[in-house]
Amino acid sequence: MKNTRTRYTAEFKAKVALAYPYLLRGLAICRANQVWATDITYIPMKDGFVYLVAIMDWYSRRVLSWRLSNTLDSNFCVDALEEALSRFGQPEIFNTDQGAQFTAEAFTQPLRDRGIAISMDGKGRCLDNVFVERLWRSLKYEEVYLHAYGNVQDARAGIGRYFAFYNSERPHQALGYQTPGAFYRGARARAA
């Protein structure tokens, strides 16, 4: 009996993904691409819902990439990650929650391969990822709840329009009334 229990325990431990420490507590975030963060939310539609993942630069609040999916596997998260990395370089730290999509080897391996520090929120600590949570609130109240998407294509089009508006037209008080896109470009130009 003991050998069976030991074997199952070892197999279980091998399948359990690692949780990483939260690295942002007390950290002064003062430049673009210092910290990126991500999260998943659901988007209601007339019939059902889809999941949305977005990757954001914390300093500028710019949405770097996003994807929709009708399942919660890690593939759509990995696709968003790969797009952000290919288009915007890489952050020093990548912050997520401890969800299975973000602890999956498929998601963490590209980060580790590039030497990006992985930070994970504490369990039940939504304020650890407050800027992405604020993004969800803005998106839902300014776009999603105003439209009853009939299908995934409608949701994709509406969210795409909103993120283009959010990045390029919607000024943020915390950014000196600049848009996230302009603030991000300016921060990167100053760093170069």
User: Would you say residue 35 lies in a domain?
Assistant: yes
Provide the residue range defining the domain that includes 42.
29-187
Total domains in the fold of the chain: 1
The number of beta carbons lying within 10 Å of the beta carbon of residue 29 is: 13
Strand ranges inside the chain, DSSP E: 35-44, 49-57, 63-69, 93-96, 117-120
User: Would you say residue 154 lies in a domain?
Assistant: yes
CA angle 179, 180, 181 (to 5 degrees): 90
Confidence of residue 8 (pLDDT cuts 50, 70, 90): very low
User: Would you say residue 58 lies in a domain?
Assistant: yes
Structure tokens at 28: 């002064």
Mean pLDDT over residues 31-50, rounded? 95
Confidence of residue 11 (pLDDT cuts 50, 70, 90): very low
User: Would you say residue 61 lies in a domain?
Assistant: yes
User: Would you say residue 24 lies in a domain?
Assistant: no
Say if CB 103 and CB 16 are below 8 A apart. no
CA distances from 104 to 44, 107, 155 (A): 26, 5, 26
User: Would you say residue 95 lies in a domain?
Assistant: yes
Q: Residue 84 is part of a domain; what is its CATH number?
A: 3.30.420.10
pLDDT in tens, 102-157: 999 999 999 999 999 999 976 555 556 788 999 999 999 999 999 989 999 999 99
User: Would you say residue 70 lies in a domain?
Assistant: yes
